[in-house]
Structure 1
Amino acid sequence: MLPFTYALRNLFRDPSRLAQTVGGSALVVLLLVAAVSLNQGMDSVLSASGSAKNVILMGKGSEESIERSEVHLAAESSASTSIRGLEEKLGVAAVSGEITYQAPIRTESGKEEQALLRGVLEKALLVHTSVQLLEGHFPGPGEVMVGRLAHRKLGVDESEIAPGKTLHFENESMIVSGVFAAPGTVLESEIWFDRNDLASLTQRDTLSAITLRLDDATLDDVQVFTLQRNDLELAAIQEDAYYSKLGTFYKPIKMMTWVTATLVSAGALFGGLNTLYAAFASRIREMATLQSIGYTRVALLVSLIQESLLATLTGTLLAFLLAYFLLDGRTIPFSIGTFTLALSPLVIFTGLITGVLLGTIGTLPPAIRCLSPSLPKALRSA
């Protein structure tokens, strides 16, 4: 086998080729890392947003979207008294009738963006157990409580929606009463109104949905209630199943991310192959000379792969550094909330495997072509 230092020295024979290889592999790895991180971030926030212990009652025929659902106000008290085995706190059943509405919100600076609004009463904290009040208090009349990532959804600085600031919805001004967290869920991007305020502002006398938290009860018990109360026209779905369906809805977006990353990566890969073909073609005589003094073609192939791996893994390291500063921890808004990009073990593993494959499989075609001519013919080559 050739010494490893031979591959290391050859790496710097052509600085421009080295820069192209390192840059091309860094681009490919960075794009794939970004695609995996984006898809994983969206999947994780949707899967974390739903609880298997929660059941959502929605209007029949509107199971695909809470925003389009309409539920009679009377259904909240009926569900609370008719369904046995619901979780209770201090004698209060964990039943929360809510209004969900998407509309533009304007900040004091005049910036206006779409936001997901949720009209709630304090009972909402009994079913949304991940919600933690960070500062301020629950919203009362004329007030709103914002998720800690709502500023990302609105595209403004965090200070613009701090407690005491004013948000404008329609022609009304609402004071920010507090900030809440709900780690890893879409709730963190929402703006919570007093339910009566939101009902008045949106001119509706129905709820969007009723969320129940189960204790001894099961989904079947809730479905029996919906069948018994045909007059209410309700459908029951587990909360985690609802958000899982939303993940299916966003599947085309995730597919487009993969397609874009694959197309750009393919362009960079073919460009790198052309560079390697040109570089190895000029070294045919060098390889033949090494064969003539006793080195086997397998040894030469391993040396060429070592040389390429050094370049592509350097590009992979560069891609990880860029991903750390440009992607890790960045929050990305989408229609129902935001999700956070993270360099998880799966993302890092994907990047490493990509770098190794670029340095091995991507090197084999030009290397085999370089070593394929017979020894006499290779020695006579220009």
Structure 2
Amino acid sequence: MLPFSYALRNLFRDPSRLAQTVGGSALVVLLIIAAVALNQGMDSVLSASGSPRNVILVGKGSEESIERSEVQIDAESSAATSISGIESQLGVTAISGEISYQAPIRTGSGKEHQALLRGVSEKALLVHTSVRLLDGQFPGPGEVMVGALAHRNLGVKEGELAIGKSISFGNSELRISGIFTAPGTVLESEIWFDRNDLATLTQRETLSSVTLRLDSENIDEVDLFTFQRNDLELSAIREDHYYEKLSMFYGPIKIMTWVTAALVAAGAVFGGLNTLYAAFAARIKEMATLQSIGYTRLALLVSLIQESLLATLTGTLLAFIVAFFLLDGRTVPFSVGTFTLTLTPPVIFTGLLAGILLGSLGTLPPAIRCLLPSLPKALRSS
């Protein structure tokens, strides 16, 4: 086998080729890291938003969109008295009738921003157990409570949604009374209203949904209630299943992310292959000379792969550095909330694997072509 130092010295024989290889591999790996982080972030926030013990009652035909659902107001009290197995704390039943609404609001800057609004009562905290009040208090009449990531979803500065500031919805101005967190869920991007306020502002006489928290994951009692109360026209769906369906809805977006990354990466890969073909073609005589003094073609192939791996792994390291500063911890808004890009072990492993494959499998075609000519023919090449 050739010494490793031989591959290391050859790496710097052509600085321009080295820069192209490092830059191309860095671009490919960075795109793959971004695609994996985007898809993983979206999946994780949707899967964490639903609890298997929470059941959502929505209007029939609206199982895929709570915003379009309409539920009679008395469905909340009917469900509370008719369904056994609902969790309670200090005698308060964990059931929450809510209004979900998506509409533009105005912050202090005067600009309109599309926001996710939820009209709730204090019982919502018994159902959405991940919600914690960071500062301030639960909203009363004329007040709202904002999620810790709501400013990212709206694209405004955090200070515009501080306690004591105001937002405008329609012709009404509402004071921000509190800030809450719900780590890893879409709730953290929402703005919570007093339910009566939101009903008045949106001129609604119905709820969007009724969410209840059960003692167990068995929802048979809830299904029975919906069958018995045909007059309410309700459908029951487990909260985690609802968000799973949302994840499937965003499947085409995930595919487009991969397609875009693949197209750009393909251009970089083909450019890198052309560079390697040209570089290795100029070394056919060199390879033949090494064969003539006793080195096997396999040893030469390993050396060429080592040389390429050094360049691509350098590019991979560069991609991870860029991803750490530009992607890690960045929040990305989408229609139902925001999610955070994180360099988790699976993301890092995928990026590293991509760099190794680029340096090994990507090198094989030009390297084999370089070593393919017979020894006499290769020695006579100019």
Q: TM-score range by the shorter chain?
A: over 0.9
Q: Aligned residue for 2:180?
A: 180
Corresponding residue SS for 2:211: strand
Q: How much has 1:113 moved relative to structure 2?
A: 1.0
Matches for 1:179-258 after TM superposition, within 5 Å = 179-215=179-215, 218-258=218-258
Q: Which moved more, 1:215-224 or 1:186-195?
A: 215-224
Cα offsets for 1:40-85 (capped at 9, x unmatched): 0000000000000000000011111000000000100000111111
Which residue does 1:3 correspond to in 2? Answer: 3
Per the alignment, residue 108 of structure 1 pairs with: 108
Residues paired across the two proteins, number: 382
C-alpha distance 14-206 of structure 1, shift in aligned 2 (>3 A): same
Aligned to 1:333: 333
Which amino acid in structure 1 is aligned with residue 97 of structure 2? G
2:111 and 2:25 map into 1 onto residues whose CA distance is 40
Aligned twin of 2:90: 90
Give the whole-Å Cα distance in 2 for the aligned partners of 1:283 and 1:343.
Answer: 39
| Structure 2: 5+ residue stretches without partners | none
Q: Which residue of 2 aligns with 1:23?
A: 23
- SS in structure 2 opposite 1:211? strand
Matched AA of 2:370: C
2:136 matched to which residue of 1? 136
Q: Following the alignment from structure 1 to structure 2, what is the Cα–Cα distance between the partners of residues 228 and 324?
A: 55
**Counterpart Cα distance in 1 of 2:111 and 2:145:** 18
**SS at structure 1 position matched to 2:76:** helix
Please, what is the CA RMSD of the aligned residues? 0.7
Are 1:296 and 2:316 matched, yes or no? no
Secondary structure in 1 matching 2:269: helix
Query: Where does residue 80 of structure 1 map in the other structure?
Result: 80
TM-score by length of 2: 0.99
Name stretches of at least 5 consecutive residues in structure 1 with no aligned partner: none
Query: What is the rounded CA distance, in whole Å, between the counterparts of 1:67 and 1:206 in structure 2?
Result: 12
Q: C-alpha offsets along residues 159-217 of structure 1, whole Å, 9 cap, x if unaligned?
A: 11000001011111010001000000000000000000000000001000000000158
Structure 1 length as normaliser, TM-score? 0.99
| Distance change (3 Å), C-alpha of 1:291 and 1:164 | same
Residues 55 and 280 of structure 1: is their aligned pair in 2 closer, same or farther, counting only changes over 3 Å? same
Which consecutive aligned stretches of 4+ in structure 1 deviate over 3 angstroms post-superposition?
none
Structure 2: distance between partners of 1:104 and 1:40: 28
Structure-1 residue corresponding to 2:69 = 69
Residue 107 of structure 1 deviates from its aligned partner by 0.4
What corresponds to 2:57 in structure 1?
57
Structure 2 CA distance, aligned partners of 1:61 and 1:180? 32
- Aligned partners of 1:49 and 1:243 also within 8 Å: yes
Q: Summarize the Cα distance change of 1:255–1:216 in structure 2 as closer, same or farther, 3 Å threshold.
A: closer
Task: Tell me the equivalent position of 2:161.
Answer: 161
C-alpha deviation, 1:218, in angstroms: 2.6
Contact 1:330 1:341 in 2 (8 A): yes
Q: Which residue of 1 aligns with 2:38?
A: 38
Find the aligned partners of 1:371 and 1:84 in 2 and give their Cα distance: 76
Deviations 1:251-286 (A, max 9, x none): 000000000000111110000000000000000010
Paired letter, 1:375: L
Shift of residue 110 of structure 1?
Answer: 1.4
* Matches for 1:337-348 after TM superposition, within 5 Å: 337-348=337-348
Give yes or no for contact 2:53–2:216 (8 Å, CA) kept in 1: no
Separation (CA, whole Å) in 2 of partners of 1:19 and 1:35: 24
- CA drift of 1:105 comes to 1.1
Which AA in structure 2 matches 1:346?
A: P
Please state whether the residue corresponding to 2:316 is helix, strand or coil. helix
Residue 153 of structure 1 aligns to a residue in which SS? helix
Q: Distance in 2 between matches of 1:216 and 1:288?
A: 73
Deviates more, 1:261-270 or 1:105-114: 105-114
